[in-house]
């Protein structure tokens, strides 16, 4: 349904939380997503010119990287991005056919491939670049939040998670109900002050990003006096090495 479903009280909002503090930019979540979804609900995810120049393909998740700041305290940040399953997604409302829709029961934004006409308007309407055109089938595709995993009864409970979450080696990706303030994932967002991307556009993304923690340049301050003293001592008084050795002369220890 192109019009958005009216949010229900206690609306379930399934989504991802991505921890920019520990993402190392390994691309595992990107290829695991590709792998799962290639034969999944929206599969195939075609690749064009796969062994030639200008190879490109349909991917639901991509890893960007940025540098932030200069000099001390600057950081390199790896930034994975997939559909944010927005609460107010214009990608849905602009769709002329109803192919693009937001599920009432869990808020997942999907494309019904069987009626999509491939007008691409939804991809223009998505500020985040989360829509992927399948030029082979002529239809739009996108992250399904692994809808064919998270409810899949052929999978054990702990496996009912998106492929990208399961694979992440550093555990930088979390999946859960962001509509439930008591859920573990919501608490994580609250604790780490999870952020919205481009909040100014009013799409109200469900997915949240946990900002990098400040680097602990100095774990504790001040430095232990002994080191500073003797370091100062060493350069200031130029005591001979022989003198410095004296303090170990009487240090006897049993082997």
Identified binder of another protein from the candidate list 14, 16, 58, 185, rule CB under 8 A: 58
185 lines the binding site for ligand SF4 (CB under 6 A): no
Helix (H) or strand (E) holding 210: strand 208-210
Q: What does DSSP assign to residue 87?
A: S
255 binds, among ligand SF4, another protein, none (CB under 5 to 8 A by kind): another protein
H/E stretch holding 150 reads: helix 147-150
Q: What is the closest distance, in whole angstroms, from the C-beta atom of residue 225 to another protein in the complex? A: 9
51, 54, 58, 59: CA torsion to nearest 10: 90
**Range in contact with another protein (rule: CB under 8 A) among 8-16, 174-182, 184-192, 246-254:** 246-254
Neighbouring CB atoms inside 10 A of 42's CB total 23
Half-sphere exposure of 236 (CA within 13 A, CB side): 6
- The span from the CA of 93 to the CA of 120, in Å, is 13
Residues contacting ligand SF4: total by CB under 6 A = 55
Query: Which of ligand SF4, another protein, none does residue 48 bind (CB under 5 to 8 Å by kind)?
Result: another protein
Among 107, 185, 203, 209, binds ligand SF4 (CB under 6 A): 203
With contact defined as beta carbons under 8 Å apart, do 43 and 198 qualify?
A: no
Which residues here bind ligand SF4, judged by CB under 6 A?
A: 23-29, 33, 36-37, 60-61, 63, 78, 80, 82-86, 89, 91, 94-97, 99-100, 109, 111, 116-122, 126, 128, 130-131, 140, 142-146, 162-164, 168, 170, 172-173, 203
């Amino acid at each position: 349904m192109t019009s958005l479903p009216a949010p229900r009280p206690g609306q379930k909002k399934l989504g991802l939380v991505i921890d920019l503090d520990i993402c190392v930019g390994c691309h595992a979540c990107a290829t695991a997503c590709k792998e799962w979804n290639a034969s999944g609900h929206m599969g195939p995810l075609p690749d064009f010119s796969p062994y030639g120049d200008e190879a490109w393909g349909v991917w639901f998740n991509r890893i960007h990287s940025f540098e932030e700041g200069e000099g001390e305290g600057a950081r390199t940040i790896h930034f994975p991005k997939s559909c944010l399953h927005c609460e107010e997604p214009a990608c849905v409302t602009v769709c002329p056919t109803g192919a693009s829709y937001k599920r009432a029961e869990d808020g997942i934004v999907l494309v019904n491939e069987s009626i999509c006409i491939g007008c691409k308007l939804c991809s223009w309407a998505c500020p985040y670049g989360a829509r992927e055109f399948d030029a082979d089938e002529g239809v739009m595709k996108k992250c399904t939040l692994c809808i064919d995993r998270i409810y899949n009864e052929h999978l054990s409970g702990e496996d009912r998670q998106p492929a990208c979450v399961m694979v992440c080696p550093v555990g930088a990706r979390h999946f859960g109900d962001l509509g439930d303030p008591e859920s573990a994932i919501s608490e994580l967002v609250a604790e780490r002050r999870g952020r919205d991307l481009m909040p100014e556009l009013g799409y109200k993304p469900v997915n949240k990003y946990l900002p990098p923690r400040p680097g602990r340049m100095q774990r504790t301050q001040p430095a232990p006096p002994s080191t500073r003293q003797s370091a100062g001592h060493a350069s200031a008084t130029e005591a001979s090495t022989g003198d410095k050795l004296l303090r170990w002369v009487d240090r006897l220890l049993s082997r």
